[in-house]
Structure 1
Amino acid sequence: MKHPVDVHVGKRIRHRRWMVGMTQQQLAERVGIKFQQIQKYETGMNRVSASRLWDISDAMGVPISFFFEGLGGKSGSEAKETTVRGDFMADKEALELVRSYYAIPENQRRRLFELARVLSDVA
């Protein structure tokens, strides 16, 4: 049975890999493993060891804590509820929107953000 924390860490690996435009094969090569292992990590089928998570965080340019963001100090069952309910980043459309948003130059991005804020207040 998959542990909710392993699933969460796997989703964060997939999320970061996708955000930086890296394939599973590219990440696997940087870490020195087969891409099938990356697939297993991302689905939570295999637990990521501390040393491997260190290598993955280095390859993707994030601190190890990135992979645990959103978990807090929750127990396994609480973590499972949070992961299922609040993981909008599992939605491909949301990921594409975020990736596109960060591709916009910063000054234009701020304007777009303000526009979105105004529109959400009206709705």
Structure 2
Amino acid sequence: MSKSPNPIDVHVGSRVRLRRMLVGMSQEKLGEKLNLTFQQVQKYEKGANRIGSSRLYTIASILNVPVQFFFDDMPANIDISSLALAEGGVAEDDETPIVMDFVNSSEGLQLNTAFSKISDSETRKRIVELVKTLASATPEDQ
């Protein structure tokens, strides 16, 4: 029986993948900088293998982000106190997989990259409101 990955490891791994893709770095290149194979980087990104603290610090340096970046947007319903006892993992927020799939898609990366270049916070807020309005419109309204 295979053990399910720890949901925190899955989240941290997905954030490593997100940042790596945002900076345009391949798994091979990140692996070279870490003295690892790209397969090991894949395992980290999927949460199959846990990233140790010193390795996470090195990855943060390579990807030019603070270590906290990898824990940002952690689903609120992960009960840390029960993780050691959890056998089947912890349920994610229903929207978390959809959001991560989008963020990791080509369109999601392009949108995030372009959006992050908008320096005016009011403009960013208006874009978010526009997207929310478009998302809530029924197909016949569009």
TM-score class, shorter-chain normalisation, is 0.7 to 0.9
- Corresponding residue of 2:129: 117
The alignment yields a C-alpha RMSD, in angstroms, of: 2.8
The structural deviation recorded for 1:52 is 0.8
- Corresponding residue of 1:40: 43
- Corresponding residue of 2:96: 86
The structural deviation recorded for 1:115 is 4.8
Percent of residue pairs bearing the same amino acid type: 34
Runs of 5+ unmatched residues, structure 2: 138-142
SS in 1 for 2:92: helix
Write the distance in 2 (CA, Å) between the matches of 1:33 and 1:112.
Answer: 38
Deviations 1:72-107 (A, max 9, x none): 58314796413x5225133213223212334x5646
- Corresponding residue of 2:68: 65
Using CA pairs below 8 Å that are at least 6 residues apart, which structure has the higher relative contact order? 1
Aligned with residue 100 of structure 1, among 90, 107, 114: 114
What TM-score comes out, normalization by structure 2 length? 0.68
Alpha-carbon contact 2:77-2:92 (below 8 Å) kept: no
SS in 2 for 1:62: coil
Alpha-carbon contact 2:78-2:92 (below 8 Å) kept: no
The structural deviation recorded for 1:118 is 4.5
SS in 1 for 2:50: coil
SS in 2 for 1:48: coil
Alpha-carbon contact 1:8-1:68 (below 8 Å) kept: yes
Deviations 1:12-56 (A, max 9, x none): 000110111111111111222111110000111111111111110
Aligned length: 120
- Corresponding residue of 2:140: none
Deviations 1:49-76 (A, max 9, x none): 1111111011001111111112258314
* Pair member with larger Rg: 2
Q: Residues 116 and 50 (structure 1 numbering): CA distance in 2 closer, same or farther, change over 3 Å?
A: closer
